[in-house]
Amino acid sequence: MRNRKKTEEWFFRNLMSAVTYFIILILLLIIWVVFQKGIPALSWEMVSQTPKGGFYFGKDGGLLNAIVGSLYLASGAASLAWLISLPTALFMNVYLVRYKKFLTGIRFLLDVLWGIPSIVYGAFGFALMIFFNLQTSLLAGIITVSLLIAPIMIRAMDEVLKTIPMGLLETAYSLGSTRTETAFVIFFRQALPGFITAFLLAFGRGIGDTASVLFTAGFTDYIPENLSQPAATLPLSIFFQLGSPIPEVRERAYAAAVILTVLILIISLAARLLPRNFKRNVI
Amino acid sequence: MIGRQLIDKLSSGWMLVCTSLLLLLPLAIGTGLLAKSIPVLEHQSFFSLLSSAQWSPMEEKFGFYPFIISSVMVTVLSFAMAGPICLLAAIYLTQYARPVLLRIMHPVIDILAGIPSVVYGVWGILVIVPLVADYIAPLAGSQLTGYSILAGGIVLAVMCIPYMLNLLIEVFRNIPRELNEASLSLGATRWETIKFVLVRKGMTGIISAFGLGISKALGETIAVLMVVGNVVQVPGNLLEAGYPLPALIANNYGEMMSIPLYDSALMLSALVLFLIIFLFNSLSRYLIYKTELT
C-alpha cells in the first residue's frame, strides 16, 4: 500500500517536471528553427531596400516597405490606443474607485474584449471601412489595430493604478487639487513606469498581428507617405511570400520571420528594462 | 480658479467619453457585423446556413457546416494536448519546483505569448507539417502532404500553452497555503494533497482557465490557416485537411467583393465567431471572478 503511493507520487512528480522542461524546450526549439532557417537567407539588402520589380518572383529588392509599414502601423495604433486608454484607465481609478461593483463590471468586459480574436476585429474594421467609405489604408489599419490593443493596454494600466494606495488620492483632494489634476499629475507620475510597459506590450501585439490588418491596411511595395495610402506589414509579407511556389521567395519569408521575431524580442526586453529609468517620481 | 474648474470639467468629459466608447465597443462590433450579414440572412435561413455542407459562392450557396466541424476538431484536439500539459506544469511549478524555476518560467511564458502567430505558422510549416507527413501519416498507412487537422491542432496547442499555463499558475497561487498544510499534517502525501485538495478547491479556476484557452484556440487564424490545408470538406479523420472558420474569413477577403452575397456570408461567419467566443469568454471570466471573490 505504502509502496503504491510512493510509486504514484514518484511517477507524477517526474511526469510533471518533464512536462515543464518540455515547455521550455519547445520555446527554444521554435526560436532555433526560425533562426536556423532564416539567418542564411538574411542580407543587408533585405532590410535596406524596397521591393524592385519582380521581387515576389525572386528578383532583387528587400522588405523595407514591410518593416517601415509595420513600425508606422504599430506606433500609430499604439499612440491612438494610448489616447483612449490613458483617460479610461485614470477614469476608472480616480472617478469610479468608489463604485466597486461597476468597476468590476468594466474590468470583466475589458477582459472579455481581450479574448476576442483579431480576425473579428479585422472583419469589424472592414465593416467600418465600408460604412465610412474608406479604402484599405494605413489609417484604417491603425484604427482597427488600436481597437484590438486598447483593452490590453487599459487592463495593463489598470493593474498598475490599482496598486496606488487610497491615501494618495485623499491627500491630493485634501490639498485642494481637482480630480483632473489628481489623475493626470499625481496618479500619472506614480504609474508612469507601468504605463510604459503597457505601451510596449500593446506595441508588440500590434506589430505581430496579422489577421486584423489583412482586411484593412492592404499591401503595397512602397513606403506609405500619408495615412490614406495602403501599407505593407511584416506578418503579411511573410504570409504572402510563404505561399509562393519559388523556393527562393520562401527563403525570404523565413528571413522576414527572423526580423519580426528579433523585433518582438527587443520590444519585450525593453518592456522589462526601460521602465526602471522612470521611477524617479514613484513613492 | 475658474480656469482650473473649467479644465476639470472638460477633461472629465473627455475621460467619460473615452470610457463609454470602449464599453460600447462589443455592441458596436455586434451591430456592425450584423448589419453587413443581413443580406445573406435574407437569402438563406440562419439554421440552413449553419447546417448545410454545400459551399459554392458562385451559385450563392453558403453552408458553414464543414468549417464549423473543422474548427471544432482543431480546437478539441489542441485542447486535448495543451490542457493536461499546462495543468501538470502549473502544479509542478507552484507545488514542487524551486522558486528559481518559476522565475525562469515567467519570461518563457511572456516570450511564447509574444511570438506573432505568423511565426508559429512558419514553425509549423518547417517542423510540424513534415513531422506529420513523414512519421505520423505513414503509421496510419496514408500518404498525405501533412497539411492536416492534426498539424493545426499541434501548432494551436503550443500557442495556447502560455495563456492557459499563466492562468493556471495564478489559480494555484491563490489557493491558501493553510489548506495545503492542513492536509499534509493529516498524513496525506504531497501528491494526495494535490489530487484531493488542491485540484478540487481550484476546480472552478481550472475549468475557466481551460475555457479561456479553448476560446483562444477557436479564434486563432493565421497559424492554423498556414498548416491546416484549407480544403472545403467535412474531414473524416485527423490526417485529412480541414478548413476552420477563421481561416475561411482570412483566405477569401480578396475575392469577396466581386461575388454577390459573398462578403455578407463572410461577415456572418465573423459574427458567429464573435458571438460564440464572447459567450464562452464571459462564462469563463465569470467563473474566474467568482473564485477570486471567495
Q: What is the CATH number of the domain that holds A140?
A: 1.10.3720.10
Same-domain check for residues A24 and A111: no
Q: Which pLDDT value is given to residue B259?
A: 73
| Cβ pair B85:A23 closer than 8 A | yes
Q: Is residue B220 part of a domain?
A: yes
Residue of B nearest to A215 (CA): B253
Chain B contacts of A162, Cβ < 8 Å? none
How much is the pLDDT for B292?
Answer: 66
Mark yes or no for CB contact A180/B246 under 8 Å: no
The chain B residue lying nearest A9, using CA atoms, is B191
Q: What pTM was computed for the model?
A: 0.88
Q: What is the pLDDT of residue B147?
A: 82
Q: So what's the pLDDT on residue B20? A: 87
A115 pLDDT more than 70: yes
Is A119 within 8 Å of B50 (Cβ atoms)? no
- Using the beta-carbon criterion (under 8 Å), do A265 and B219 form an inter-chain contact? no
Instruction: Tell me, yes or no, whether A55 and A33 share the same domain.
Output: no
Nearest CB partner across the interface for B25, out of A24, A113, A264? A113
Q: Which residue has the cell 464571459?
A: B282
Tens of pLDDT, residues A199-228: 888 888 888 887 888 887 777 777 777 777
| CA-based nearest distance B175→chain A, Å | 19
Tell me which chain A residues have a C-beta less than 8 angstroms from the C-beta of B25. 113, 147
- Distance (Å, rounded) from C-alpha B25 to C-alpha A263? 30
| pLDDT tens per residue, range B60-79 | 778 788 888 888 888 999 99
- Range A167-195 burial, b when 16+ CB lie within 10 A, else e: eebeebeeeebbbbbbbbebbeebbbbbb
- For A9, the closest of B119, B190, B266 (CB atoms) is B190
* Same domain for A211 and A107: yes
CA distance B30 to B270: 10
Chain B positions touching A117 (Cβ under 8 A) are: 216, 218-221, 246, 273, 277
Question: % helix / strand / coil in chain A, to the nearest 5?
Answer: 80, 0, 20
Q: Per-residue pLDDT averaged across A260-274, rounded?
A: 86
Same domain, A113 and A13: no
How far off is chain A from B13, nearest CA to CA, in Å?
A: 10
Q: Which of B36, B88, B110 sits opposite A268 (nearest CB)?
A: B110
Task: Give the tens place of pLDDT for each residue, A134-152.
Answer: 778 888 888 889 998 998 8
Contact B117 A106 (CB under 8 A): no
- Decide if A235 and B118 are in contact by the 8 Å CB cutoff: yes
Q: How many residue pairs from chains A and B have C-beta atoms closer than 8 A? A: 246
> What average pLDDT score do residues A62-82 get?
86
Alpha-carbon span A211 to A140, nearest angstrom: 14
Classify A258 as helix, strand or coil: helix
Q: Predicted confidence band at A99 (pLDDT cuts at 50, 70, 90)?
A: confident
Is A184–B190 a contact, with Cβ atoms under 8 angstroms apart?
A: no
> Does the beta-carbon distance from A115 to B253 stay under 8 Å?
no
Give the one of A6, A27, A215 whose C-beta lies nearest to B253's C-beta: A215
Is B72 exposed, middle or buried, given 0-12, 13-18 or 19+ CB atoms closer than 10 A? middle
Could you tell me which chain B residue has the CA closest to the CA of A238? Answer: B118
User: Distance from A59 to chain B by nearest Cα, in Å?
Assistant: 22
What is the percent of chain A with per-residue pLDDT over 70, rounded to a whole number? 94
From chain B, pick out residues whose CB is under 8 angstroms from the CB of A126.
253, 267
> Is B177 a member of any domain?
yes
Q: Which residues of A touch B19 (CB under 8 A)?
A: 87-88, 91-92, 106
Of A6, A87, A151, the CB nearest to B18: A87
Claim to verify: residue A179 and residue A252 sit in the same structural domain: yes
Q: Given CA atoms B159, B50, A113, A128 in this order, what sign does their dihedral have?
A: positive
* Domain identity same for A76 and A91: yes
In chain B, what residues touch A128 (CB-CB under 8 Å)?
32
ipTM for this prediction: 0.87
Same domain, A126 and A260: yes
Q: Do B16 and A13 touch (CB under 8 A)?
A: no
Domain count, chain B: 1
Give pLDDT < 50 ranges for chain B: none
Indicate if A22 and A83 belong to the same structural domain: no
Which pLDDT band, with edges at 50, 70 and 90, does A57 fall under?
Answer: low
For A242, name the nearest residue in chain B, comparing CA atoms only.
B122
Residues of B in contact with A204 (CB under 8 A): 114
Model pLDDT for residues A102-112, shown as the tens digit of each residue? 888 888 888 88
Tell me what the pLDDT averaged over chain A comes to. 83
Q: What is the pLDDT of residue A182?
A: 80
Chain B residue numbers touching A150 (CB-CB < 8 A): 22
Number of domains in chain A: 2
| A58 — pLDDT class (breaks 50, 70, 90) | low
What are the DSSP calls for A79-128, one per residue? HHHHHHHHHHHHIIIIISTT-HHHHHHHHHHHHHHHTS-HHHHHHHHHHH
Among chain B residues, the shortest Cα distance to A218 is held by B254
Q: Residue A53 — pLDDT band, cuts 50, 70, 90?
A: low
CATH no. for residue B84?
A: 1.10.3720.10
Q: Decide if A118 and B221 are in contact by the 8 Å CB cutoff.
A: yes
**Residue of chain B nearest A213, judged by CA positions:** B250
CB within 8 Å: B115 and A261: yes
Confidence of residue A68 (pLDDT cuts 50, 70, 90): confident
Q: Which of A16, A112, A207 sits opposite B88 (nearest CB)?
A: A16
Q: In the numeric block, which cell numbers belong to residue B19?
A: 470610457
Instruction: Establish if B31 belongs to a structural domain.
Output: no
* Element spanning A43, H or E: none
The whole-angstrom distance between A264's CA and the closest CA on chain B is 7
Nearest chain B residue to A29, by CA? B123
Structural domain including A121 reads 44-279
CA distance B212 to chain A (A): 8
**Does A85 share its domain with A124?**
yes
C-beta atoms surrounding B103 within 10 Å: 9
What mean pLDDT do residues A29-43 have? 84
Residue B105: closest C-alpha in chain A = A24
Residue type present at position A255:
A
Domain match, A267 and A168 both: yes
Same domain, A63 and A188: yes
Q: Which domain holds residue B239?
A: 65-293
- C-alpha cell of residue A43: 542580407
Residue A12 shares a structural domain with residue A99: no
